[in-house]
Amino acid sequence: MTIKAKKSLGQNFLTSEKAIADIAAATCAGIGDTILEIGPGMGALTRALLDTGAHVVAVEKDDRLIPELQTLFVDDIASGRLTLVHGDALTLDLATYNLNPGTYILAANIPYYITGLIIRRFFSRAHLPKHVVLLVQKEVARRAVAGKGDASILSIAIQTYGTPHIARTIPRGMFTPSPTVDSAVLVVEHMSDPFTSNENERVYFETVRKGFAHKRKLLASNLGCGQDTLQACTIEKTARAENLSVADWHALCAHPSAHSF
């Protein structure tokens, strides 16, 4: 396949066979699993994912690549092992492809500019995978695994639903064209939905966003809550949002005054 990467779609094709194999292995997929692959590109990762024995639903937005992928994977499509979708993963109706919450694995070499959008969509109880493997900017991966003291909305959003770790880093030279930064394989395991309702989820993340609204301000000031509330949740009165763990945020949202934050 000799298609030039499209800059407007943020395409950088991974060329290292070892890195591709490592990403596929990180999915822990096997026969009976379903993998949603976002942006199969030229199909290198798609082949490795199919080799795990899983059924792959590959969603590609670039219309130039669809005919090439259809030809490359003609047998896999015919056998039903691969479902190739021409569409946008950000708006795809997952239920159409039986990608129900908690039942599928998400794997993707996603364009850097939509990383935040992908995380916001799939780290939610409406679309939650059971396991995630994302190739992202190395700095994004580092922020995702940060703990108390260095927490951010990103790390809280991811760690609310699962346990992240960095499986490996991938130098920029392993891509065509080479991006300006290095990448990392971010794996999120042990994923589950901690919320009892959509309203519970909404209040939780609304509270998190308010807590991080002004970095220089104390948490109590950002939330407009009293010291007694923080004390009841065993949170220091001088704490800032970056000092809180996921458990701390859950404790805050369980407090009777949560809806008044």
- What are the tens digits of pLDDT across the range 77-98? 999 999 999 999 999 999 999 9
Half-sphere exposure of 136 (CA within 13 A, CB side): 26
Between residues 196 and 258, which one has the greater pLDDT? Answer: 196
pLDDT value, residue 18: 92
Strand locations in the chain (E): 13-14, 34-38, 55-60, 82-86, 105-109, 131-137, 163-170, 175-176, 183-189
| pLDDT tens-digit readout, 220-250 | 999 998 888 999 999 999 999 999 999 999 9
Q: How many CB atoms lie within 10 A of CB 180?
A: 8
pLDDT value, residue 10: 44
Instruction: Name the fold adopted by 7-189.
Output: Rossmann fold (3.40.50)
pLDDT at 17 > cutoff 80: yes
Q: Looking at residues 6-22, what average pLDDT do you find? A: 72
| pLDDT tens-digit readout, 172-201 | 888 876 778 899 999 999 999 999 999 999
Question: Token pair for residue 116?
Answer: 């935040």
CB contact at 8 A, 186 and 134:
yes
Q: What is the pTM of this model?
A: 0.91
Does the fold of domain 198-260 match that of domain 7-189?
A: no
Q: Which of 63, 160, 41 is nearest to 110 (CA)?
A: 41
pLDDT value, residue 2: 52
Strands 82-86 and 105-109: unpaired
Residue with tokens 């896999």: 76
SS3 state of residue 57:
strand
Helix axes 246-254, 198-211, angle to 10 degrees: 110
- Beta-bridged to residue 56, according to DSSP, are 35, 82
| pLDDT tens-digit readout, 40-71 | 988 999 999 999 999 999 999 999 899 999 99
| Cα–Cα distance for residue pair 231/62, rounded to 1 Å | 52
Half-sphere exposure of 187 (CA within 13 A, CB side): 15
Provide the CA 93 distance to its chain's centre, in angstroms: 17
Q: Where do the domains of the chain lie?
A: 7-189, 198-260
pLDDT at 5 > cutoff 50: no
| Cα–Cα distance for residue pair 155/186, rounded to 1 Å | 12
| pLDDT tens-digit readout, 111-162 | 788 899 999 999 999 999 999 999 999 999 999 999 999 999 999 999 999 9
CATH of domain 198-260: 1.10.8.100
98: left (phi over 0), alpha (psi -120 to 50) or beta: left
